[in-house]
Structure 1
């Protein structure tokens, strides 16, 4: 498994657009056509080309963002909690006050985990709560 994060999402988005997207954008061109007819791969490729979607005013109080993933065999053993604790400590050491994430609302197991490690829901108008939920927490214990 892994946890990764950035301390400043708006700065990350600018660097992503400037430095990373030119490298991979040609290999994964933005799909065109009917949004409803897109494959899951097309949806992910479209997200690649829209990093600015990550900068939302409602998330400004939680400037860092994270991604975490553990293989099922490693879940429920405290590894996820330890990964989150380690990332929060690193962010806190850099003076970052809060972190956020987005998750598929249907992933109720992940939501229960995030609730247990202190995350709370952040209301984002216009976000389709049926699909995506935003969560955040302070970096202090």
Structure 2
């Protein structure tokens, strides 16, 4: 959309909870600078129980962040805002307000929401059909299916 976007997210808390402390630290540090203490912990250099416990507390905080939609949205929106402001050569607030989460409690609600999101560009008259709605998941689903059909027929796109 020209002034907003829609996401349908699933937070797999069981998966995040199953990750080891090392995996949490490695995932976090692919996004952010590695604190020296964590770097030393990962390489097995920390010997003090107090330092190790403090590091594990930090990793527990990271585990919570990695499954928090508000944290995810704050980071995503900050990135999008910085890129848009850089592209436009301006500074200041980019987003009008905070995101509005809606829990989808059941398959019917999930499917309704996904249909709303998929149809939004057509409803807003930005495109004539779902096949034309680039940068959407429905576009990807349609075109990946078309590519698979072509491949199964031996055609090259």
Shared fold by TM > 0.5?
A: no
- By percentage of residues, which structure has more helix? 2
Relative contact order (C-alpha < 8 Å, sep 6+): which is higher? 1
User: What's the TM-score, normalizing by structure 1?
Assistant: 0.27
User: What's the TM-score, normalizing by structure 2?
Assistant: 0.25
